[in-house]
Chains A and B, each alone.
Chain A
Amino acid sequence: MSERVIPPKPLSFPGGIHPAKDGKGLTEHKAVEKAPLLEDYVVLVSQNVGAPPKVTVKKGDAVKKGDILAEAGGFVSAALHSPTSGVITDIGEAPGPMGVNVPAIFIKADGLDEWSDKLPAGLNWREASADELKSRIASSGIVGMGGAAFPTHVKLSPPPDKKIDCVILNGAECEPYLTADHRLMVETPERVLAGAAIMGKILGVENIAIGVELNKPDAIAALEARAQEYGVKIVGLKVQYPQGSEKQLIYAITGRCVPTGGLPMDAGCVVQNVATAAAIYDAVAEGHPLIERVVTITGDIVVNPGNYLVRIGTPVIKLVEWASGVKSEPRKLILGGPMMGFAQKSYNVPVSKNTSGVLLLGGAEIIQYESSSCIRCGMCVRGCPMHLSPGPLSMLIENEKFDLAGQNHVMDCLECGACAYACPAHRPLVQHMRRAKAEIRRAGKK
């Protein structure tokens, strides 16, 4: 790995697809705007993978910006902080990104937006110790901001038997339409680089690389201009979906394969999103917890699509408002990108720590899944970055042969959507895979 610095040919992985329309042109040149302060915020309690945090405030409490709302409910958990100063009006339920109502904290802003005085002072990361840095990250409630929402400090605490020799930052942003990470890298490359260096320091790793797809030359240039001083390598990657998936990214940059069922640390790597790196820098250097992030609001029917720096807990409808509304009635509201994002049924769903984009699709762009038969063309097989056979698998799942599907490695599916994207029969392949995974997990629990 150590020898590979910006290879002459863009690196990639076997399989994958090239979405014909990437939609990035809508927002990739739009500078990140700071969103205005709102009156009401809805902070979902559980914004991380693992144990939900324990709420420590109660109705009527006054909070300042950055005050703790909920403490980590275990090791694999992340704290929650107030996005602004104001009063807790209620602790109840709000629509969550998965469609069902989830516990949430309602905050009425007082308009002052005062920082809490309990915040820790900024650290000089070059001098601070690794443990100091790590505990700062944990207390700042930082989770993987690319989508998985896995608590960052857990990833940075590998078990002693796993030797980590390489930190990889994911700046691929292979999802069409999304440009939040792109803008972040262009506008504040030093935050990303410093965040990367902090992680390298925590893990004691010299090899730090940021993988960026070649369709973002300005981001690569911005990062490269200052990469030297942070000891970070910038790696240009072939534009190919899903380049930003952990396993594929590791393969593209280091040539290592993460064993099936394993984690990146099994290949000696830690992979973090660039937005997470920036948040780490803020937490360490400024002492600011994770309360805001860059979100792309986009779609062909959005009047003025753009990138906004918004507080966690901002309802999506506000983003639509800032983007000057829509040209025609949207038929689909998607949190995240078009390939892996989740369709929503309410515009009141708030922005979470892992919401990288809000995508509105109009009638003409809606794809219709059909219950047509697999014609065995093999396009899904060619597209699958995990080398599965989604078509035959989906036939097994349709016939509820989940054990056979399991034997055919359905559990290795990333749900990246490359198969369903390519399927000429418009079969809902990803949904089949997810069903099989859910059923197998359920059967395994018994």
Chain B
Amino acid sequence: MGTTILVAILFTGVIALLLGIIIGVVSKLFSVPSDPRVELVLGLLPGANCGGCGKAGCADFAKAVVAGECPPNKCPVSSSEQVSSIARALGIEAGSEFRQKAVVLCGGDVNQMKMLTLYNGVSDCVSASMIGGGPKSCAYGCLGMGSCARSCPFGAIEMINNLAVVHAELCVGCGACVKTCPRNLIKLVPADSEVHIYCSSPVKAPLKRQVCNVPCIGCRKCMKSGEEGQFEVDGFKIKVAYDHQPLPGAEVVDAASCPTGCLLTEKQHLAIERAEKPVVEEEVAS
């Protein structure tokens, strides 16, 4: 009996030893250099693969961070704690933090903008924009087919009354939506901005008025009520100067009393779009 055990151990041991040697040799022959830190960083990343950092997914980003090609805070999704934990793990600087969010600069929902024609086709903004410029009257406004909403990995864009509205509290500023919009209405703005001019149409005021109830007509009332430099003229419209500090707050909106109502805080904008529904989210954008 004892011998059986002994022989079994010996037998198994010899085979195991043989196999071990083979594995050792093979892995020496076919060795691939790899950096364990990449796996480490990858584990600390959110793994949404949104591409907001400009790299092809989180794994690519992790590689770049380890290689020192880009700072860990380039990931728009990670919170600052996550970013600093990555930095700690690698023993590098986290980089200064600059957070962004997306905003759809158009206020033309179906109530404000005429639906000129009936549209029969693929429910997608790019497709619609190619068919006679889409069904809505403004050739520069939101097409309302929701391509951006579908592209958002975080579900931060809601289609209300055929208009895309970004929920700032859900948006991480990855920018996935920006490139889906055939009208280029989506802009990445500083996360602490609150007031926007919801119009992107570059045409003259009377033409805008023909097609939309809430265009920016370039009256400059906002410029007068706000601080110097908070707004700037951009062709036939005004835009918020997002790189100017401090950014305009709600009081500017009140003071300006925009004649068309395209200068709004995010809260107001959402509330208007939700007019038919009760406004539930009080703490929006807080």
Contact = CB atoms under 8 A, between A and B. Distances in A.
Interface of A: 93, 98-101, 342-345, 368-369, 371, 398, 428, 431-432, 434-435, 438-439, 442
A368 B120 CA distance: 7
Contact of B127 (A100, A342, A431): A431
Given A428-B120, A428-B121, A428-B127, 4 more contacts: A345-B116, A345-B135, A431-B131, A442-B179
13 contacts: A93-B207, A99-B132, A99-B139, A100-B133, A101-B139, A343-B132, A398-B122, A428-B121, A431-B122, A431-B130, A434-B130, A439-B126, A442-B179
B126 A435 contact: yes
A398 B131 CA distance: 17
Interface in B82-132: 116-117, 120-124, 126-127, 130-132
Nearest to A370: B120
A345 B117 contact: yes
Contact of B122 (A100, A101, A343, A432): A432
Q: How large is the interface on B (under 10, 10 to 19, 20 to 34, 35 or more residues)?
A: 20 to 34
Given A93-B207, A345-B116, A371 B131 contact: no
A100 B130 contact: no
Contacts, number: 53
A431 B121 contact: yes
A398 B123 CA distance: 10
Majority secondary structure, B binding face: loop
B132 A342 contact: yes
Contacts of B139: 99-101
A369 B132 contact: no
Nearest to A394: B122
A432 B121 CA distance: 9
Contacts of B130: 431, 434-435, 438
B227 to A, nearest CB: 35
Contact of A99 (B127, B131, B207): B131
Interface string B222-249: 0000000000000000000000000000
Interface string B193-208: 0000000000100010
A435 B129 CA distance: 9
A176 to B, nearest CB: 20
B146 interface: no
B127 A344 contact: no
A432 B132 contact: no
Given A369-B120, A369-B121, A431-B121, A343 B127 contact: no
B173 interface: no
B134 interface: yes
Find the residue from A368, A431, A438 having the highest chain B CB count within 10 A.
Answer: A431
A431 B126 CA distance: 10
A345 B119 CA distance: 10
A101 B203 contact: yes
A50 B182 CA distance: 21
A93 B117 CA distance: 20
B267 to A, nearest CB: 33
